[in-house]
Chain A
Amino acid sequence: MNIWLGALEQGFLFGAMVLGIYLTFRVLNYPDLTIDGSFTLGAAVAAKAILMGYDPWWGLAMAFICGAMAGLVTGLLHTQLKVTPLLSGILTMIGLYSVNLRIMGQANVSLLRRETIFTGIKGFIPDPWGTLLLAVLLFAAVFLAVYLFLCTELGMALRATGDNEQMIRSLGVNTDYTKLVGLALGNGLIAFSGSLVGQYQGFADIGMGIGMIVAGLASIIIGETLVGTQTLIRAMASAIIGSLIYRSIISLVLQLGLSPTDLKLFTSLMVVAALALPLVRNRLGFSPLRGAGDVKVTPRNQNF
Chain B
Amino acid sequence: MLKLHRVTKIFNPGGPDERVALRQVSLEVPQGQVVTIIGSNGAGKSTLLNVIAGVYSIEEGAIFLKGQDISSWPEYRRAAFIGRVFQDPTRGTAASMTVEENLALAMRRGKRRALRWGITPEERRYFKEQLAQLGLGLEDRIRDKVGLLSGGQRQALAVLMATLTKPKLLLLDEHTAALDPRTAKVVMELTQRVISQHQLTALMVTHNMDQALRYGHRTLMMHEGRIILDISDPLRSQLKVSHLLEMFEQASRNSLEDRILLTSPG
Please give the residue numbers on chain A whose beta carbons come within 8 Å of chain B beta carbons, in ascending order: 149, 151-157, 159-160, 163-164, 166-175, 230, 295, 300
Contacts of B108 in A (CB 8 A): 153, 157, 171-172
- A167 and B114 within 8 A (CB): no
- Tell me the chain B residues, 38-91 only, with Cβ under 8 Å from chain A: 53, 74-77, 79-80, 83-84, 90-91
Q: Report yes or no: A166 in contact with B91, Cβ–Cβ below 8 A.
A: yes
B94 and A164 contact, CB distance less than 8 A:
yes
Given contacts A152-B118, A172-B76, contact A157 B93 (CB under 8 A): no
Q: What chain A residues lie within 8 Å of B111 (beta carbons)?
A: 172
A186 to B111, CA, bound (A): 25
Could you tell me the distance in whole angstroms from the C-beta of B131 to the nearest C-beta in chain A? 18
Q: Does B231 contact A (CB under 8 A)?
A: no
Q: Which 5 A-B pairs have the closest CB atoms?
A: A172-B79, A163-B94, A153-B113, A172-B110, A156-B118
Q: Are A156 and B116 in contact (CB under 8 A)?
A: no
Give the distance to chain B from A95, nearest Cβ to Cβ, in Å: 29
**Chain A positions within 8 Å of B92 at CB level:** 167, 170
In this complex, what residue of B is CB-closest to A293? Answer: B148
Can you list 30 A-B contacts with CB-CB less than 8 angstroms, sorted by A residue number? A152-B113, A152-B115, A153-B104, A153-B113, A153-B115, A153-B118, A154-B115, A155-B118, A156-B104, A156-B105, A156-B113, A156-B118, A157-B105, A159-B96, A163-B94, A163-B97, A164-B93, A166-B91, A168-B94, A169-B79, A170-B79, A171-B106, A171-B161, A172-B79, A172-B80, A172-B109, A173-B76, A174-B76, A295-B147, A300-B96
4 more A-B contacts (CB under 8 A) besides A152-B114, A154-B115?
Answer: A154-B114, A156-B104, A171-B108, A173-B76
In the assembled complex, B101 has its CB within 8 A of some CB on chain A: yes
**Contact status of A172 and B114, CB under 8 A, knowing A166-B91, A167-B91:** no
Cβ–Cβ < 8 Å partners of A173 in chain B? 76, 79, 113
In the complex, A43→B164 CA distance in Å?
Answer: 48
Bound form: Cα–Cα A170–B148 in Å: 22
Contact between chains at B109 and A171 (CB < 8 Å): yes
Quote the shortest CB–CB distance from A224 to chain B (angstroms): 13
CB closest chain-B residue, reference A175:
B76
On whether the beta carbons of B93 and A167 are closer than 8 Å, the reply is yes
Bound complex: CA A168 to CA B90 (Å): 12
CA distance A167 to B145 in the complex (A): 16
User: Are B115 and A171 neighbours in the complex by a CB distance under 8 Å?
Assistant: no
B161 and chain A: residue at smallest CB distance: A171
> Whole-angstrom distance between the alpha carbons of A172 and B113 in the complex?
10
**Cα distance, A149 to B116, chains bound together (Å):** 9
Interface membership of B95, Cβ < 8 A: yes
Q: Which chain B residues lie closer than 8 Å to A151 at the CB level? A: 117-118
Instruction: Please report the C-alpha to C-alpha distance between residue A175 and residue B74 in the assembled complex, in whole angstroms.
Output: 11
Q: In the bound complex, how far is the Cα of B105 from the Cα of A300, in angstroms?
A: 22
Report the separation of the CA atoms of residues A25 and B117 in the bound assembly, to the nearest whole angstrom. Answer: 24
Residues of chain B within 8 A (CB-CB) of A164 are 90-91, 93-95
In the complex, which residues of chain A have a beta carbon less than 8 angstroms from the beta carbon of B76? 169, 172-175
A171's partner among B79, B117, B118, B148 (CB-CB below 8 A) is B79
Indicate if the CB atoms of A154 and B113 lie closer than 8 Å: yes
Q: Which residues of A contact B83 (CB under 8 A)?
A: 170
Q: What are the residues of chain B within 8 A of A174 when measuring CB–CB?
A: 74, 76-77
Query: Are the CB atoms of B113 and A167 closer together than 8 Å?
Result: no
Complex Cα distance, B76 from A126, in Å, reads 55
Closest Cβ–Cβ distance, residue B74 to chain A (whole Å): 7
Instruction: Tell me the complex Cα distance, A171–B113, Å.
Output: 11
Instruction: Give chain A nearest CB distance to B124 CB in angstroms.
Output: 13
Residues of B within 8 A of A159 (CB): 94, 96-97, 101
For A155, what are the chain B residues with a Cβ–Cβ distance below 8 Å? 118
Most chain A beta carbons < 10 A, residue from B77, B108, B118, B161: B118
Q: Which residues of B contact A154 (CB under 8 A)?
A: 113-115
A153-B113, A156-B101, A160-B97 known; A170 vs B53 contact (CB < 8 Å): yes
Please, how many angstroms separate the alpha-carbon atoms of A295 and B84 in the complex? 28
Tell me if B114 and A156 are in contact (CB < 8 A): no
Known: A164-B91, A168-B105, A295-B148. A149 touches B115 (CB 8 A): yes
| Complex Cα gap A300–B147 (Å) | 13
Docked Cα-Cα span, A153 to B75, in Å, equals: 20
A152 touches B116 (CB 8 A): yes
Query: B116 near A153 (CB under 8 angstroms)?
Result: yes
Q: What's the minimum C-beta distance from B209 to chain A, rounded to whole angstroms?
A: 27
> Which residue from chain B places its CB closest to the CB of A157 in the assembled complex?
B113
Give the residues in chain B near A163, CB-CB below 8 Å.
94-97
In the assembly, what is the distance between CA of A112 and CA of B220, in Å?
78
> Could you tell me the distance in whole angstroms from the C-beta of A268 to the nearest C-beta in chain B?
28
B105 and A160 within 8 A (CB)? yes
> Which of B105, B106, B111, B115 lies at the interface centre, i.e. has the most chain A CB atoms within 10 A of its CB?
B105
